Amino acid sequence: MKILVFGKNGQVGRELTKMPHVLALDRSVADLSVPGACARAIAEAEPDLVINAAAFTAVDKAEAEVRLAQRINGEAPGEMARACAALGRPFLHVSSDYVFDGSGRAARRETARCKPINTYGHSKLEGEEAVIAAAGRWGILRTSWVFSAHGQNFVRTILRLSDTRAELQVVEDQIGGPTPAADIARALMCIGRAMVGGHPGGLYHFSGQPPTSWAGFAREVFARTGRQVSVTGIASSGYPTPAARPLNSRLDCRKIAEDFGLRAPDWKAGLDKVLAEMEGVTT
């Protein structure tokens, strides 16, 4: 089996590259901002499965670079899906909780209405719609609050800030599920292999449990690292950003458990593994 992965250097992509039968591509080989680049890569590789773990993930930056976000998150996944459909190969795409508006307190199921509130969310929804419109064999995995020992993520940022500060103010009214990139990669491989074997795929939610706030996440990081840092929870209104954030990012993950036996990961256990890995990580 040959599994082609886009997004080699991203958080999820790095985890996928550790798995067997994976050919992972980075921007130097397949630049998603260039029309046709990813389709050519798929045609040349002739894989059994394609996984798109690449994305424009700078949520605030997307407000100023709308066209680039649309191109990478919205158009490129559609090109990949069409290329896979032409070859008769399954395509698996990573999406986001940001396709929802964050209203209410309930965890959203896959059938919930999408209503993004920022450019990033709109671009991710456009990507989902393009994948589905390609009319091939597709799977979409929505996840949230991704973290790992590499790249730009909350765990690495909050630890860096604590190097020079003993007190931090962190948003407490946004609630969601921190999700280890390694668990996302394993879920993608499980779904992908099933699709190669004939499973029809579909739309699934997969995020860490139990739900917490960013402030709660920060406190857990410091508790597990033994850092004496005071975390004060604040409202989102006290930390204005270019892009609005959904207050409720809870995802209902029952469907993926029923179809594949994949239970929502325990993010605290995942955090312990990431922190252990970070002891030897510099990038």
**pLDDT tens per residue, range 15-49:** 999 999 999 999 999 999 999 999 999 999 999 99
Is 204 catalytic? The answer is no
Burial readout 197-217 (b: 16 or more C-beta within 10 A, e: otherwise): eebebbbbbbbbbebbbbbbb
User: pLDDT by residue (tens digit) across 116-174?
Assistant: 999 999 999 999 999 999 999 999 999 999 999 999 999 999 999 999 999 999 999 99
Q: How far apart are CA 129 and CA 140, in angstroms?
A: 10
H or E stretch at 52: strand 49-52
- The answer to whether 25 and 69 have CB atoms below 8 angstroms apart is no
What predicted TM-score, i.e. pTM, was given to this entire model? 0.96
**CB-CB neighbours of 92 under 10 Å:** 28
pLDDT of residue 122: 99
Q: How far apart are CA 69 and CA 76, in angstroms?
A: 10
Mean per-residue pLDDT over the chain, rounded: 97
Domains along the chain? 3-151+179-207+250-266 (3.40.50.720)
Burial readout 139-167 (b: 16 or more C-beta within 10 A, e: otherwise): bbbbbbbbbbbbbebbbbebbeebeeeee
**Average pLDDT in the 79-106 region?**
98
Percent of the chain with pLDDT over 70: 99
Give the pLDDT band (50/70/90) at residue 281: low
Q: Could you say which DSSP state residue 71 is in?
A: I
pLDDT at 96 over 60: yes
The torsion defined by the Cα of 128, 171, 145 and 218, in degrees rounded to 10, comes to 180
pLDDT of residue 171: 98
pLDDT of residue 67: 98
Residue from 117, 4, 9 nearest 50 by CA: 4
pLDDT at 282 over 60: no
**Average pLDDT in the 162-187 region?**
98
pLDDT of residue 279: 87
pLDDT at 280 over 80: no
User: pLDDT by residue (tens digit) across 191-243?
Assistant: 999 999 999 999 999 999 999 999 999 999 999 999 999 999 999 999 999 99
H or E stretch at 25: strand 22-25
User: pLDDT by residue (tens digit) across 53-91?
Assistant: 999 999 999 999 999 999 999 999 999 999 999 999 999
pLDDT of residue 16: 98
pLDDT of residue 100: 99
Q: How far apart are CA 253 and CA 250, in angstroms?
A: 9
Tokens of 183: 């668990």
